[in-house]
Structure 1
């Protein structure tokens, strides 16, 4: 390992600044490139530790329901949309237009899609300017959007050639490692010079390099397990390795809100599937008693194995798994436990080790730990961590090993650099294995501390702040503060929100499909545009349309203030404030942010 060098600090020229202009063309704001990717915040008050307090038992957050008139108007709007959709499909059978070519087959071929698909396409076209906005540059604290407009109700988009820089609340850049400047970016650039951009093969067919071996060892140490394997795609990590874990004669018990990648993997495995209510431990307990006592269908033979699958942090709900309670059930019923930490690894816990770290649970109590690098580490791909005997088997039996392309060298370098900056590296000739700030209390589970320099490639240089882990710890503290502040602020404004207070995913319930597009447009047309994702059926229940804010350590406290002020004004216009709790004025929320975050500390919700 080459000793760390001083980070470069070149003077930023005018060419390295970007102009952010609102839709009206007024109120220009200049963002320096470095700060547009990661906001500058030195106020130590805006820090918080992501950790569960066992003084307060884990309890589910009470879900607030909207007034009846909101439900009635939402149903009525869906009814109008469906009626007009079916009417257009019916008329299209007799009056072929350009939007009905799927109903009138060309050249005698049957249509590849159904008639109902056209209704879905038209619904998407109505909000075409709100979904899939083309962007350029880094998905950091701010994001640069390509301006466009439509003259035909969003069937086509016309690009103006201009760009707008907006506050980015839509990317899974939880720790802010998506940057073009800094130690991680320099490591990626150096890896391209040494290894190129691809290994041109699968792991079992000439596509494995020393970077893969080092990255897997680093991931295993980070997760606190014996071994780990990595996959080039997060979705494929679940869909290709779950069939290698269970098969016919096995039972999978899955949370009803598990990700589509888990559902795909379970279907391909051939195992029987039962679902339990989202994060409902009592329902899971009852289901386990039933399936164990009854055995397999018809034969009533014992199951070959039972695998319970849950997510650490649910991407649409923002809820956190009640891991302590599930661990207790695991000890009682002796099933295998698979935890998907795609959104929780790196984002939760005082050491950034995910839900195990947050709840202070030994990772060895979980049989299979899955995670991705797409979120907190600013990279791509996923991993499976667990006992070495299991990982060795999955390397051969998982379809990603022999068939899928291996992870590329630049991505591997990003993973190792970002992960090392969270863990910290032991200084050369140092006798201690971890800094005092990384050391855990004697009463807690000991999570791996700083790593040895030999765990990283010799050519990988890290600036001092990344090398000693101080910047990684700061990012964890900033993310925890930002997440809790936005959760508490939206609740005090009167919005119905879901999710755990520490979750970087903050869903704001809109309920009505017609209000979603207006919400997005109004947020983008403010003096400081805000980019936010909206989600509806089938990703969510029909009446649970929502805006989903994704918080990052790259955001500053002032950025969260901008979001709260924008939501306050838009929420009043669209009638979105339906919470029955205590309400504060937005200026009071911004002024008492630290006090508000500390007040949330007494709430521990799953």
Structure 2
């Protein structure tokens, strides 16, 4: 239960949500010396007093009352990213009560939850509909926008043709853009453009600094005031909070820059592959539980360039109707036939499998060369989980290949953070191909493909990314290795036994491989990491990674269940870190986003509309992080409760709880089946 101060912060207290003047910063020590001093002070103070259980609410002052003014972390001492550099090291009490902009402290172990499948939980996708008047007013809103847009186009082309030059033939040239195709962008999306591509600065951690802007020409262009606003960030895919400018992973990246520089390639082997690539791919294979893996420098390109290397003419791809655009692009480039089935509907999938297997290829009715089923582990717009156990049973029955895109589920689901197979406690090698990205849970960039070594070796040769794409930089690879090792934990190999690492000469590039007898999910041997990589104890023993996984699971479930108890219609699974809140009406989306951004404690949210979603199911998509505290989720629930009543968004059926009861019984709510 949050303290009275967290629920009702004193109004005179200064807030961190305002522009910081860099000129007012005193001359301080380096960040490394500061962090060292904080660590030493924290260790000393813990022998004398008990630290608070969590970071206080964001609307509170960033400092605490102290008899010694020199030892208090004042707001004026914070730089743009929110870290203070005091002249004297702070005590443990002051460290834990200072507002942390990148990662909030939460030492209360009751605010933890294990992300794993339980027999009583259901995976059925249930979409609750609002009252009919909501649908009617939504359609009427779109009809009104369409009529007004066509009227403005009609008169604009005749009285202000300079604004429509790109849509009409000019000086012998054809129109640059299609009038019909760009109508939605001009007349509907532009009305809410300030809700999209909001420029930010600094680290997109627990909070984020946005650049203040305004428009004088109806969102045609923007002017910047030069000021910044720091807001609570519930819009980034920073699931485990590894997007930090400070900490063990950031120190490792800094060390890699000293060793390898900022070029695209570091120390190389004879074949031209960076040693960090070899180490990274071996660690990814260990983390996933597959025999081998390959790393790509871009997540989107991982799907769009490797799917054509898996299937081609004469093959069939069966795709979930809500699969990501990168999957759709890859399937189109492959030349394979494609059939889609209703999202997560196993009966529809089995019916389709029977049809395509019995009928074979069109016209000739020959058997398919290959049938590849592509699904996602966690769907980014719906927040739903794939019914992997049912798909595995169908795979055994109908003998197709299975490709699972874990861009959002890897590192975010499962008690060990190993993704959807870990969540369901399924052997990952029962899936043929596991794909994922490093841009979400690992705070880096790029993607990977993991599977049998024979398949991975073939993809290295046939995949377009291997021949044409740029390699990942050493600094990004280091972030991937450090964050992944932090989740796994590092165990030094026993001195009396031979290392599990073996050198396989079967490919042109030697790859470090784990032995088949190695336990999964297990710790990462120290020999599997760069010799110069040094992680703090909390990251090295895996305790910090385990805590982040449990914090993410608690925050996700608490926000989802809290919104349901307030009466909102939400989609997705309760354990999903993506929580869509249905708004329906297009006019309510920009209003909701503006209201959240202009609160006393600003909140940055993502609004999603057509064509990313069906026309009438516009939504606000909350992206929860382990960096958030329980009090942060309380702030979000309080704001949603206020604006939900104002905008008439509470249409869900079922029992409703008052906000104060939800906040008080949060642990009980999260642990409900």
Using the size of structure 1 for normalisation, the TM-score is: 0.91
Deviation, 1:336, is 0.2
1:27 equivalent in structure 2: none
Which of 132, 156, 161 is the equivalent residue of 2:221?
156
Deviation, 1:32, is 9.2
> Could you list the per-position Cα deviations for residues 326-354 of structure 1 after superposition, in whole angstroms to 9, with x for gaps in the alignment?
00000000000000000000000000000
2:163 equivalent in structure 1: 99
Deviation, 1:148, is 1.1
> Could you list the per-position Cα deviations for residues 567-588 of structure 1 after superposition, in whole angstroms to 9, with x for gaps in the alignment?
0001100000110111111111
> Could you list the per-position Cα deviations for residues 126-157 of structure 1 after superposition, in whole angstroms to 9, with x for gaps in the alignment?
11221111100001000000111122222221
Moved more, 324-333 or 142-151: 142-151
Deviation, 1:92, is 3.4
Q: Which runs of 5+ in 2 are unaligned?
A: 1-31, 39-72, 83-94, 499-517
Question: Following superposition of structure 1 onto structure 2, how do residues 221-260 of structure 1 map, counting pairs within 5 Å?
Answer: 221-260=286-325
Q: Does 1:405 align with 2:470?
A: yes
- Checking the alignment, whether the CA contact within 8 Å between 2:319 and 2:341 is kept in structure 1 is yes
Which of 115, 124, 133 is the equivalent residue of 1:60?
124
2:532 equivalent in structure 1: 459
Shift in CA distance, 220/428, structure 1 to aligned 2, threshold 3 Å: closer
> Could you list the per-position Cα deviations for residues 355-377 of structure 1 after superposition, in whole angstroms to 9, with x for gaps in the alignment?
00000000110000000000000
Which of 566, 586, 610 is the equivalent residue of 1:493?
566
Deviation, 1:15, is 4.2
SS of the counterpart of 2:240? coil
Moved more, 405-414 or 424-433: 424-433
1:120 equivalent in structure 2: 185
Which of 248, 258, 266 is the equivalent residue of 2:331?
266
> Could you list the per-position Cα deviations for residues 445-502 of structure 1 after superposition, in whole angstroms to 9, with x for gaps in the alignment?
9623111111111111100000111000000000000000000000000000000111
Q: Which runs of 5+ in 1 are unaligned?
A: 21-29, 434-444
- Checking the alignment, whether the CA contact within 8 Å between 1:174 and 1:553 is kept in structure 2 is yes
Which of 29, 36, 46 is the equivalent residue of 1:9?
36
2:453 equivalent in structure 1: 388
2:506 equivalent in structure 1: none
Deviation, 1:91, is 2.7
Count of equivalent residues: 574
**Distance in 2 between residues matched to 1:312 and 1:81, nearest whole Å:** 36
- Checking the alignment, whether the CA contact within 8 Å between 1:7 and 1:182 is kept in structure 2 is no
1:442 equivalent in structure 2: none
1:322 equivalent in structure 2: 387
Shift in CA distance, 6/432, structure 1 to aligned 2, threshold 3 Å: farther
2:139 equivalent in structure 1: 75
Deviation, 1:34, is 7.8
1:293 equivalent in structure 2: 358
SS of the counterpart of 2:590? helix
**Distance in 2 between residues matched to 1:464 and 1:515, nearest whole Å:** 48
- Checking the alignment, whether the CA contact within 8 Å between 1:86 and 1:119 is kept in structure 2 is no
Q: Does 1:426 align with 2:491?
A: yes
Q: Does 1:109 align with 2:173?
A: yes
Q: Does 1:588 align with 2:653?
A: no
- Checking the alignment, whether the CA contact within 8 Å between 2:416 and 2:521 is kept in structure 1 is no
SS of the counterpart of 1:286? helix
SS of the counterpart of 1:146? strand
- Checking the alignment, whether the CA contact within 8 Å between 2:123 and 2:385 is kept in structure 1 is no
Higher relative contact order (CA 8 A, sep 6+): 1
Deviation, 1:207, is 5.8
Which of 543, 557, 569 is the equivalent residue of 2:642?
569
Pair member with larger Rg: 2
- Checking the alignment, whether the CA contact within 8 Å between 2:265 and 2:274 is kept in structure 1 is no
**Distance in 2 between residues matched to 1:90 and 1:462, nearest whole Å:** 64
**Distance in 1 between residues matched to 2:97 and 2:276, nearest whole Å:** 34
Using the size of structure 2 for normalisation, the TM-score is: 0.82
2:578 equivalent in structure 1: 505
**Distance in 2 between residues matched to 1:595 and 1:490, nearest whole Å:** 15
2:417 equivalent in structure 1: 352
- Checking the alignment, whether the CA contact within 8 Å between 1:19 and 1:165 is kept in structure 2 is no
1:468 equivalent in structure 2: 541
Shift in CA distance, 472/57, structure 1 to aligned 2, threshold 3 Å: closer
Which of 440, 443, 448 is the equivalent residue of 1:375?
440
